Chains A and B, each alone.
Chain A
Amino acid sequence: EAGVAQSPRYKIIEKRQSVAFWCNPISGHATLYWYQQILGQGPKLLIQFQNNGVVDDSQLPKDRFSAERLKGVDSTLKIQPAKLEDSAVYLCASSGGLAGAKFFGPGTRLTVL
């Protein structure tokens, strides 16, 4: 069974630039999550999709972050413009059952200079 795929694995940008991350969940998984993990902290939920609808985006900084999941499969997370404090690993996870996220992708490590 293929796992959760993410790209790119690493990204370095300057502040005020834009960046986009892509996630392909495990086939058939209806729930998709984007987490932000700052070094030394646990993952923080940014947004949760159920199929192509948003379930929770209460911690998404909507002035600069956006996410979509067209057709209920792949998802993209965008930051525009980036700030220094956005430097983190962005993790995508998917779940096919009633219980929470079980399968994480390898993450995208973002460095904002």
Chain B
Amino acid sequence: GQNIDQPTEMTATEGAIVQINCTYQTSGFNGLFWYQQHAGEAPTFLSYNVLDGLEEKGRFSSFLSRSKGYSYLLLKELQMKDSASYLCAPSRHYGGATNKLIFGTGTLLAVQP
């Protein structure tokens, strides 16, 4: 089965740094995705981690520890447009060339002036 846990809501100030944590339990784990979803819009891909460690991409970084079932998304120099829901999504391998992506409930981030 799968179990994904991330905070429901977070608030941060413009220009600051925020870390959104995600813990998961999944069999056949083969990587973890982070998506950003603005209200009323479809999720957009932010990052994919398959190996342990930190992946940096501009203002956004994502970290993975496979042994601990733990990931975080780090957002630096926050901007008002970063106000959105951030979805943690472990990927599970089926067999062959197929993978299943399961989403958490998401963390709603509010960036304040």
A residues near B, CB below 8 A? 31, 33, 35, 40-45, 48, 50, 55-56, 91, 95, 98-107
Contact = CB atoms under 8 A, between A and B. Distances in A.
Interface in B13-58: 31, 33, 41-45, 48, 50
Contacts of B31: 99-100
B67 interface: no
**Residues of B contacting A: mostly:** strand
B111 interface: no
Contact of A100 (B87, B100, B104): B100
A100 B99 contact: yes
Nearest to A49: B98
A105 B43 CA distance: 9
A101 B101 contact: yes
B99 to A, nearest CB: 5
Find the residue from A31, A43, A44 having the highest chain B CB count within 10 A.
Answer: A43
A104 B89 contact: no
A106 B44 CA distance: 10
Nearest to A105: B42
Contacts of A42: 87, 89, 103-106
Nearest to A35: B103
A100 B101 contact: yes
A95 B48 CA distance: 13
